Amino acid sequence: MISIVGIGPGGYDDMTVRAINAIKNADVVTGYSLYVELVRDLIGNKETFCTEMRGEVERCQKAAEYALSGKNVALISSGDAGVYGMAGLMLKVLEDHPEVKTEVIPGVSACQSGGAVLGAPLVHDFAVISLSDLLTPWTLIEKRLEAAAAADFVIVLYNPGSHKRKDYLYHACTSVLKYKSPDTICGLVKNIGREGEHHSIMTLRELQNTTVDMLTTAFIGNSHTTIINGKMITPRGYHI
């Protein structure tokens, strides 16, 4: 049995009961080393198998090996395992092993937890786009950014920057600025639900010139997004 578990931001208070129970009931816990440490208190002395970034395939293959040997496995992802997480890859690795039972346990994704920190930026239609070009060509990312901006979606940007991708957010904002005003309300949240959490609200032009890392999630409002009492709000059209 493999439980593909979304642990949310990683804090106990932001995890579902199903996620907590899956980890507690597992014989083995596998995952990215940083995320395993976030739930170490739940794991206790259980066997673990961790890999670093870009070790996703190895991680899933090892989880499959454990399951085929008869062990209950919890494969963890931050946020939701089905949103830029491990669910799709794990199910693909098991394509030739339908005898292995699986369950995907949803978690709180960064767009939800980060949006809650900022206020209510996602009350209307929104698009979620990752700026990581490890698995997606930048030309396709750019096309999606422009399409979402042209349609006036609120846009949530995952993986907006890293040591090797310092200027990706700048280029993403350049694409979005073709269709959105430079005064569009935006927000950033870093270390969502973890020690050192920090958030800020700014304009799109200011966002373009802000340095971020992979632990940050960016929110670009639509043409109606505003600030109310220090909170980023996207109205849905209620009349009050």
Terminal-residue alpha carbon distance, the chain: 51
Q: What does the pLDDT read at residue 104?
A: 98
Kindly state the helix (H) or strand (E) to which residue 66 belongs, with its residue range.
Answer: helix 56-68
* Cβ contacts of 58 within 8 Å, gap of 6 or more: 51
* Cβ contacts of 81 within 8 Å, gap of 6 or more: 4, 5, 6, 75, 87, 104, 105, 106, 107
Average pLDDT over residues 91-120: 97
pLDDT at 150 exceeding the cut of 80: yes
Q: What is the dihedral of CA 93, 96, 99, 101, to 10 degrees?
A: 20
Q: How many whole angstroms separate alpha carbon 70 and alpha carbon 67? A: 5
Q: What does the pLDDT read at residue 11?
A: 82
CA triple 86-158-177, angle to 5 deg: 150
pLDDT range class, residue 12, cuts 50, 70, 90? confident
Q: What does the pLDDT read at residue 214?
A: 87
pTM of structure: 0.93
Q: What does the pLDDT read at residue 137?
A: 96
pLDDT at 239 exceeding the cut of 80: no
pLDDT at 14 exceeding the cut of 80: yes
Percentage of the chain beyond pLDDT 70 is: 100
| Mean pLDDT (the chain, rounded) | 95
